[in-house]
Amino acid sequence: MPLLDVTIPEGALTSEAEHDLLRKLMNLLLEHEGADPTRPAVQAMAWTFLHRPAVTLVGGIVPTEPRYRIGVTVPDGMLSQRRRDRLVENLTAAVLDAQPTDRPRNHNHVWVVINTVPDGSWGAGGQTVRLADIQARASQD
Protein backbone atom coordinates (compact mmCIF):
# COMPACT_ATOMS: atom_id res chain seq x y z
CA MET A 1 0.00 0.00 0.00
CA PRO A 2 2.49 2.62 -0.99
CA LEU A 3 1.56 6.28 -1.13
CA LEU A 4 3.40 8.87 -3.18
CA ASP A 5 3.04 12.58 -2.59
CA VAL A 6 4.77 14.27 -5.51
CA THR A 7 5.31 18.03 -5.57
CA ILE A 8 5.91 19.46 -9.03
CA PRO A 9 5.77 23.21 -9.71
CA GLU A 10 3.26 24.30 -12.34
CA GLY A 11 4.85 24.34 -15.80
CA ALA A 12 8.02 22.49 -14.79
CA LEU A 13 7.10 19.57 -17.07
CA THR A 14 4.78 19.07 -20.01
CA SER A 15 1.49 17.36 -19.13
CA GLU A 16 2.57 14.19 -20.93
CA ALA A 17 5.99 14.11 -19.24
CA GLU A 18 4.36 14.72 -15.87
CA HIS A 19 1.84 11.90 -16.29
CA ASP A 20 4.54 9.51 -17.48
CA LEU A 21 6.75 10.52 -14.55
CA LEU A 22 4.03 9.91 -11.96
CA ARG A 23 3.41 6.43 -13.39
CA LYS A 24 7.13 5.70 -13.49
CA LEU A 25 7.70 6.87 -9.91
CA MET A 26 5.00 4.53 -8.58
CA ASN A 27 6.26 1.61 -10.66
CA LEU A 28 9.76 2.18 -9.30
CA LEU A 29 8.46 2.24 -5.74
CA LEU A 30 6.49 -0.97 -6.26
CA GLU A 31 9.48 -2.71 -7.82
CA HIS A 32 11.70 -1.67 -4.91
CA GLU A 33 9.12 -3.09 -2.52
CA GLY A 34 9.34 -6.37 -4.43
CA ALA A 35 5.82 -6.06 -5.88
CA ASP A 36 4.77 -6.58 -9.49
CA PRO A 37 3.43 -3.22 -10.74
CA THR A 38 1.48 -4.94 -13.54
CA ARG A 39 -0.77 -6.88 -11.15
CA PRO A 40 -4.24 -5.32 -10.79
CA ALA A 41 -4.36 -6.03 -7.02
CA VAL A 42 -1.05 -4.20 -6.57
CA GLN A 43 -2.13 -1.28 -8.75
CA ALA A 44 -5.35 -0.88 -6.73
CA MET A 45 -3.34 -0.27 -3.54
CA ALA A 46 -0.82 2.15 -5.10
CA TRP A 47 -1.96 5.77 -4.78
CA THR A 48 -0.18 8.88 -6.05
CA PHE A 49 -1.11 12.45 -5.16
CA LEU A 50 0.22 15.38 -7.18
CA HIS A 51 0.78 18.63 -5.28
CA ARG A 52 1.23 22.10 -6.77
CA PRO A 53 2.96 24.58 -4.52
CA ALA A 54 1.70 28.15 -4.71
CA VAL A 55 5.31 29.18 -4.26
CA THR A 56 8.61 27.48 -3.55
CA LEU A 57 11.41 29.39 -1.85
CA VAL A 58 15.02 28.37 -1.40
CA GLY A 59 16.69 30.43 1.27
CA GLY A 60 13.78 32.87 1.07
CA ILE A 61 14.22 33.42 -2.69
CA VAL A 62 12.23 32.05 -5.63
CA PRO A 63 14.65 29.72 -7.46
CA THR A 64 15.28 30.02 -11.20
CA GLU A 65 15.00 26.23 -11.65
CA PRO A 66 12.11 24.07 -10.35
CA ARG A 67 12.43 22.00 -7.19
CA TYR A 68 10.73 18.64 -6.77
CA ARG A 69 9.77 16.73 -3.64
CA ILE A 70 8.75 13.09 -3.52
CA GLY A 71 7.17 11.86 -0.32
CA VAL A 72 7.16 8.08 -0.07
CA THR A 73 4.97 6.44 2.58
CA VAL A 74 5.18 2.68 3.08
CA PRO A 75 4.46 0.21 5.86
CA ASP A 76 7.42 -0.41 8.14
CA GLY A 77 9.37 -3.43 6.98
CA MET A 78 8.70 -2.98 3.24
CA LEU A 79 12.06 -1.42 2.36
CA SER A 80 15.49 -2.42 3.61
CA GLN A 81 18.11 0.34 3.83
CA ARG A 82 19.71 -0.95 0.63
CA ARG A 83 16.35 -0.73 -1.16
CA ARG A 84 15.76 2.77 0.24
CA ASP A 85 19.15 3.96 -1.01
CA ARG A 86 18.51 2.55 -4.47
CA LEU A 87 14.96 3.93 -4.52
CA VAL A 88 16.19 7.47 -3.79
CA GLU A 89 18.72 7.18 -6.62
CA ASN A 90 16.14 5.86 -9.10
CA LEU A 91 13.37 8.31 -8.20
CA THR A 92 15.79 11.22 -8.51
CA ALA A 93 17.01 10.00 -11.90
CA ALA A 94 13.42 9.58 -13.12
CA VAL A 95 12.59 13.20 -12.26
CA LEU A 96 15.71 14.52 -13.94
CA ASP A 97 15.03 12.36 -17.02
CA ALA A 98 11.51 13.83 -17.27
CA GLN A 99 12.75 17.42 -17.44
CA PRO A 100 13.28 19.25 -20.73
CA THR A 101 16.73 18.51 -22.13
CA ASP A 102 17.76 22.17 -21.99
CA ARG A 103 17.37 22.24 -18.19
CA PRO A 104 20.41 21.44 -16.02
CA ARG A 105 20.43 17.99 -14.35
CA ASN A 106 20.87 19.01 -10.75
CA HIS A 107 20.37 16.13 -8.31
CA ASN A 108 20.08 18.67 -5.47
CA HIS A 109 16.80 19.94 -6.96
CA VAL A 110 15.06 16.65 -6.12
CA TRP A 111 14.34 15.69 -2.52
CA VAL A 112 12.98 12.29 -1.56
CA VAL A 113 11.56 11.73 1.92
CA ILE A 114 10.73 8.16 2.92
CA ASN A 115 8.24 7.74 5.75
CA THR A 116 7.42 4.39 7.29
CA VAL A 117 4.20 3.59 9.11
CA PRO A 118 4.44 1.22 12.09
CA ASP A 119 2.53 -2.04 11.67
CA GLY A 120 -1.03 -1.61 12.90
CA SER A 121 -1.01 2.15 12.19
CA TRP A 122 -2.35 2.09 8.62
CA GLY A 123 -6.06 2.15 7.91
CA ALA A 124 -8.02 1.48 4.73
CA GLY A 125 -11.58 0.48 4.08
CA GLY A 126 -12.56 1.51 7.59
CA GLN A 127 -10.21 -0.89 9.32
CA THR A 128 -6.61 -1.28 10.38
CA VAL A 129 -4.45 -2.95 7.75
CA ARG A 130 -1.32 -4.83 8.76
CA LEU A 131 1.72 -5.62 6.61
CA ALA A 132 0.62 -9.28 6.34
CA ASP A 133 -2.80 -8.10 5.05
CA ILE A 134 -1.14 -5.94 2.41
CA GLN A 135 1.09 -8.79 1.26
CA ALA A 136 -1.93 -11.12 1.06
CA ARG A 137 -3.92 -8.58 -1.00
CA ALA A 138 -0.98 -8.00 -3.35
CA SER A 139 -0.88 -11.72 -4.17
CA GLN A 140 -4.55 -11.75 -5.24
CA ASP A 141 -5.86 -11.06 -8.74
For residue 132, the model assigns a pLDDT of 82
For residue 138, the model assigns a pLDDT of 76
pTM over 0.75: yes
Specify the higher pLDDT residue, 45 or 19.
19
| Whole-number average pLDDT of the chain | 93
Average pLDDT of span 57-81: 95
In CATH, the number for domain 3-138 is 3.30.429.10
Residue of 5, 32, 13, 20 lying closest to 89 (CA atoms): 32
For residue 141, the model assigns a pLDDT of 65
For residue 137, the model assigns a pLDDT of 79
Could you tell me the pLDDT band of residue 17, with boundaries at 50, 70 and 90?
very high
For residue 41, the model assigns a pLDDT of 87
- List the domain boundaries for the chain: 3-138
Q: What percentage of the chain exceeds 90 in pLDDT? A: 81
Residue of 4, 97, 98, 111 lying closest to 50 (CA atoms): 4
Average pLDDT of span 47-54: 97
